[in-house]
Amino acid sequence: MKKGRILITGSNGLLGQAVVSIITRESDFELVLSSVEEKSNININQEYIQLDITSKEKVKKTVADAAPDIIVNCAAYTDVDGCETERELSWRLNVDAVKHLIIAARPAGAKIVHFSTDYVFDGKNGPYDETAIPNPISFYGRTKLAAENALLSSGIKNAIIRTMVLYGAGSKVKPNFATWLVNKLSAGERINIVDDQIGNSTIVDDLAYGTLKLIEAEKEGIYNIAGRDIESRLDFTFKLCDVFGYKKELIKTIKTRDLNQPAPRPLNSGLITLKAQSELGFEPMGTVESLQLLKYQLGY
């Protein structure tokens, strides 16, 4: 494939850092990084632009100046409960910002690669393939579905990657499920873990790898890219204990309803990744292998 330019939004986040890393290592694309922070969190020699994607004019100027062939949108408001209580902010970040990117991409002739979630489904009859009918039950899920629909009806080239339960190691990133577990269990703290939320836990390295494969294959449409194993959060936690050597006695099993969270969760979820495996050559790691990689990355 010919060398091109890629603008990455949200490059300072966990996903953004992983996407930057693999594209830098494994391809010849030129990168332009952008995030809302003043400086890049990544110690790498790449052009960086501070960008608030909720500003239509700033997005238009950034895209016009960068002149990318592809925009990879790694920016989002992913706090599920925060989205439920801060609806205006979550809509601006997850929907309006995507519309700004669409407006900016059109004159540039750029393709948008965007990340979505299993939360577009209700979690009643998972796992889901790409043709399943969405039915979000949380405001976060509704924002992500609205962004999908905006892209699919935009008339510009686009690809939507659905993923779930993303975790991994990054520089100056907020805790994710796996690193939260490591922090708590390594300190000997007791934790409550639900046994009724089912799905794929996805290490960010796998998602970034699948994203590069999709870009290189010049694919459009919806693709599920997630970890190989579909399991409960409790089973994932037990596997993490095995890999890191933590005491399983610290874990108390509870139900999702016991948490009294503001946002409802899709319980019987999961994403079927056969399309990405067959069309992109995406081969996700199993949970144990992923956790062994995380252990190495965290220096344990």
Q: Which residues are catalytic?
A: 140
Number of Cβ within 10 Å of residue 295's Cβ equals 17
Torsion of CA 162, 22, 3, 33, to 10 degrees: 80
d(CA 224, CA 293): 22
β-pairing verdict for 251-254 and 47-50:
unpaired
The tokens describing 125, both together, are 């009859």
CA distances from 42 to 23, 81, 113, 170, 171 (A): 13, 28, 21, 9, 7
Is residue 131 within 8 Å of 183, Cβ to Cβ?
no
Beta strand segments in 135-294, E: 158-163, 166-167, 191-194, 198-200, 202-203, 221-224, 230-232, 251-254
CA distances from 99 to 54, 147, 151 (A): 10, 8, 8
Beta strand segments in 108-229, E: 111-117, 158-163, 166-167, 191-194, 198-200, 202-203, 221-224
Give the three-state DSSP class for 159: strand
The tokens describing 147, both together, are 């962004």
Is residue 160 within 8 Å of 114, Cβ to Cβ?
yes
